[in-house]
Chains A and B, each alone.
Chain A
Amino acid sequence: MSCTWVDEHLDDGLDGALPADEARRLAAHLEDCADCRRISEELRSLRRRAAALPKVLEPRRDLWPEIEARLPSPRVREGRWRRWSTSNRLERWAAVLIFALAGFALLRQGSSPAASGTDFEAVLLGARQELLEERMVLAQASSLPLNRSLVDEQLEVLEEAIRQIRRALDEDPGNPRLEQALIASYRKQLELLQIALRLSPAPRDLPEAELQRRQKNERV
């Protein structure tokens, strides 16, 4: 065994990271080589001294006032949380709408008119419930800028249009023009929601774990 090998493996040997056979070879070399033994003892001493250094070194002054001044205010954090929560719900509602539109297209391809109407009704009902819940949230989030209110007004108008189209479909079920108009209305609603999402971006400094934790809280 050469001193070069010892030099390369002495650190691992001192840290207890060598396999047993190599540790034995290292120990045997150190018994016979005075130079390597001296280096080994110097390194042991260095490790002891380093480990004994104080782990706590207080700053020269109290840093808390400066730290506290830089912390986001509770109102700002709350606003960010509200905007995050609102935008997260908007994203989910938009996903439900996309699903509803895709589901309707699939149902129309293969099913009987009666069955497709019933299934589509259930999907749309779920989407509409989500929309109503989300609109309530938007209305009560007073920190939102005025143009979000404008989007909300447009959503209300579309909602009324959708109600009228659905009443017409009740009287004339399966009417392709009415169905197309209904789809177009829902697409327009989706566009408006996407605009609303762009107006309320999710805070970029929230880590993924925090997003998941707050999502979990929302379901409680």
Chain B
Amino acid sequence: MTLLSNPVSPLLEDSKPAAADPALLVERARRGDRAAFEGLYRSHVGRVNALCLRLTASVERAEELTQEVFVRAFTAISSFDGGASLATWLHRIAVNAVFGERRSRSRRDRHVVAVSDLELLDRTVPKVTYPGSDLDLERGIAGLPERARTVFVLHDVEGYAHHEIAEMTGMAEGTSKAQLHRARNLLRKALRR
């Protein structure tokens, strides 16, 4: 391919949103095919939104972050090497986006109140409603402190191992285990009530 050839336009001619082979969609998306990327969006938006929703406990923030995830993914799709699944790769972007948004919010909201974990659970009013049957657990997760919620969702809900969580979040593996222990104990007590 010469420098001056157009790497983009010839490939747009055969674009259509498609429920095609995921590997083919990824390859086309790498070359800037928006229709192919839309196909990837439609097949993965539910998974990304679910993670964002549980990590943020807010429908509005989850939808904003889900958009952010796919915008970032479009820009970075060429760096996706297929080593992990596309869903895992999108989840990594989602965790980064959530953490970035949390940092921005914490800089804006400097009012800090020291409360015990159980008080946090009691006072938090989850702003989400979920389909499915286990609303008690979903509400309990939404009421967890942020770091404990993050680890619980990634480990017990999504099935990531502690070393993967450490890599995604930047926390030490020991910290991940400690936060999981904290989350499980809080939930166990909350669900008993």
Chain A residue numbers with a CB within 8 Å of B13 are: none
Say whether B50 contacts A70, CB under 8 Å.
no
Say whether B134 contacts A52, CB under 8 Å.
yes
| Contact flag A71-B184 (CB < 8 Å), given A49-B137, A57-B46 | no
Say whether A57 contacts B53, CB under 8 Å.
yes
Looking across the interface, which residue of chain A has its beta carbon closest to that of B73?
A67
CA distance A194 to B113 in the complex (A): 54
Interface size of B as a range: 35 or more
CA distance A60 to B66 in the complex (A): 12
Q: Is B146 an interface residue (CB 8 A)?
A: no
B 70-115 contacts with A by CB, 8 A: 70-71, 74-76, 78-79, 81
| Contact flag A50-B156 (CB < 8 Å), given A12-B177, A64-B42, A71-B74 | yes
Say whether A56 contacts B46, CB under 8 Å.
yes
Q: Is B62 an interface residue (CB 8 A)?
A: yes
Q: Is A39 an interface residue (CB 8 A)?
A: yes
B 98-140 contacts with A by CB, 8 A: 130-132, 134, 137-138
Say whether B157 contacts A11, CB under 8 Å.
no
Say whether A71 contacts B66, CB under 8 Å.
no
Chain A residue numbers with a CB within 8 Å of B156 are: 46-47, 50-51
B residues lining the A interface (CB < 8 Å):
1, 3-4, 6-9, 12, 32, 34, 37-38, 41-42, 45-47, 49-50, 53, 59, 62-63, 66-67, 70-71, 74-76, 78-79, 81, 130-132, 134, 137-138, 152, 156-159, 177, 180-181, 184, 187-188, 191-192
